[in-house]
Structure formats: C-alpha cells, structure tokens
Amino acid sequence: MRSIVHQLDKAFENRIRLGLMSILSVNEWVEFKELKSLLEVTDGNLASHIGALEKKGLVETRKRFVGKKPNTSFRITEEGRSAFGNHLKALEQLLKGGAY
C-alpha cells in the first residue's frame, strides 16, 4: 500500500496551483484578471501555471469577447475536481497523523 505522502499530486505542490485549484473548485468560471488579483501573481506566472494544469486536463479555458474586449475565463474540469479532491483527502489524512 502506498503511503499517504505518495498520494499527494505533484501538480498541486506549488502554492499558486494550489490556490488556483482552490478558487476554481468553488466557482463556475473565473476570469484571468480576477485570478491574477486573488493570487497576486504576474500575467506570465499565472499563464504558465494555468498552462501546466490545462495540459494535464485539470483546467479548461474559455476565450470570448465581451463587447469588443477579449475575455479569458477558466474552470476546473471533472478530472481536475477528482484529482484535487484526492489531493485534499491525502492532506487531511496527513494532518490527522496517518502518514503510514
């Protein structure tokens, strides 16, 4: 049986990705500007982390125009919700002292 530490998902080790998934897990769609503000990161830093999560199929991107302005929003996928939920369960078990 794998130890709980090995059940943690490396995709969520970074504080920005952990914050990003936390925000997306409780909201339907979140705009790029709002994520940038909430996480206090640069455009490039946020784009890099979103891109990594998107490659794994954990996050979905929606690009559209609102009036004449481009608007990019993100949401968690079902696969992302499941992976993040498993990650949180493993963290909870660690906090309860069940590391083996």
CATH number of the domain encompassing residue 60 = 1.10.10.10
Please check whether residue 35 lies inside any domain of the structure.
Answer: yes
Amino acid at 66: V
Any residues with CB less than 8 A from the CB of 89 and at least 6 apart, and which?
A: 7
Please check whether residue 82 lies inside any domain of the structure.
Answer: no
Q: Which of 63, 65, 80 is nearest to 26 (CA)?
A: 80
Please check whether residue 8 lies inside any domain of the structure.
Answer: no
CA separation (Å) from 9 to 5, 26, 31? 9, 19, 25
Residue 17 lies in domain: 13-77
pTM of the model: 0.87
Q: Which residue spans within the chain are E strands per DSSP?
A: 30-31, 59-66, 69-76
Residues 3-58 have pLDDT tens digits of 778 889 999 999 999 999 999 999 999 999 999 999 999 999 999 999 999 999 99
Please check whether residue 7 lies inside any domain of the structure.
Answer: no
Number of domains in the chain: 1
